[in-house]
Structure 1
Amino acid sequence: MVRYLYLIAGFASLALGAAGVILPLLPTVPFVILAAFCFARSSPRFENMLLENRHFGPHIARWRERGAISRKGKKAALFAFAISAIIGLLFAPWPYVLFPLAAAAIGGTWIWRRPEA
């Protein structure tokens, strides 16, 4: 039963990662890494598909080895956070304007402090 829950969580993570390609505040690679984690516990076949993927495989491997994020990935994430914060500043009423700013500050700080791949 737990295996099926991990499988469902893996596919849900992949769906969120796919949405993150389009939505600026939703990250892609962390959801793909989470999907790999879930598939490692539910489906070795799907895990191998992610590990062998030329786009996501290296990110997953570096994360598993050292918890590392590439400089390019860090810059892309910080750029997305900045765009989201700007959109929040322009369109969100007070006090909701603080949510994207806080997410950008907290998430951006955490990402920037990760080891570099």
Structure 2
Amino acid sequence: MKRIIFFILGCITFILGTIGIIIPLLPTVPFYLAASFFWVNSSKKVHAYFIKTKWYNQYVKEYIVEKKMSKTQQYKILITVFCLLAIPFVMVPNTIMRIALILVFVGHVIFFRLYFSNKRKISASKAEGMDI
């Protein structure tokens, strides 16, 4: 029963995310993330298929699981975030909002620095004793 409910919820959130592409009031990304969560948890076959896809290996596994991202990729993302945050920073004359935007950007910089520099490395001696 749980699998059926998760599959149906995945379909509903996927449809809402797709509608969100057309209607700007609905957020697209949260609905797509929810759809992937529901679908992956609805079936072991779906989960096995998902972790074998090109997009999972390229974006999720590499960046989130293995914590691998080149400095060039990090700079590109931070430049994009800077440009997106600069638009409301320039257009809206609200000091509190400008401070919040600066803090959000600084938070991104700190996160990238800490997350991708502290890679979890297993030494050879530890890896030998583990069943991987």
TM range (shorter): 0.5 to 0.7
Is the 1:7–1:43 Cα contact (8 Å) retained in structure 2? no
**Do the aligned residues in 2 keep the contact of 1:89 with 1:97 (CA within 8 Å)?**
yes
CA contact (8 A) 1:39 1:46 kept: yes
CA distance in 2: counterparts of 1:86 and 1:32, whole angstroms: 27
Counterpart residue number, 1:86: 86
Deviation for aligned residue 1:36: 5.6
Structure 1: 5+ residue stretches without partners:
20-27
**Counterpart residue number, 1:109:** 110
Q: Select the structure of larger CA radius of gyration.
A: 2
Distance 1:33 1:60 in 2: 12
- SS of 2:54's partner is coil
Q: Give CA-to-partner distance per residue, 1:24-43, whole Å, 9 cap, x none.
A: xxxx8xx9888665544234
Alpha carbons of structure 1 residues 96 and 115: separation in structure 2 relative to 1, 3 Å: closer
1:70 corresponds in structure 2 to: 69
Does residue 100 of structure 2 align to residue 99 of structure 1? yes
- RMSD of the TM alignment (CA)? 4.0
TM-score in terms of structure 2 length: 0.50
Counterpart Cα distance in 2 of 1:76 and 1:9? 32
Looking at structure 2, the residues matched to 35 and 111 of structure 1 have their Cα atoms a distance apart, in angstroms, of: 26
Identity %, equivalent residues? 10
Structure 1 ranges of 4+ moved more than 4 A = 9-12, 31-39
Unaligned runs of 5+ in 2: 22-28, 120-132
Distance 1:7 1:78 in 2: 36
| Deviates most, 79-88 or 55-64 | 55-64
Q: Name the structure where helix makes up a greater proportion of residues.
A: 2
The question of whether the paired residues in 2 share the 8 Å contact of 1:51 and 1:60 is answered with no
> Helix, strand or coil: the match of 1:41?
helix
Equivalent position of 1:22 in the other structure: none
TM-score, normalised by the number of residues in structure 1: 0.55
Instruction: State the distance in 2 between where 1:9 and 1:102 align.
Output: 34
2:85 touches 2:105 (CA, 8 Å); kept in 1?
yes
Asked whether the equivalents of residues 78 and 109 of structure 2 are also in contact (C-alpha less than 8 Å), the reply is yes
User: How many residues end up aligned between the 2 structures?
Assistant: 103
Q: 1:86 to 1:37 in 2, by over 3 A?
A: same
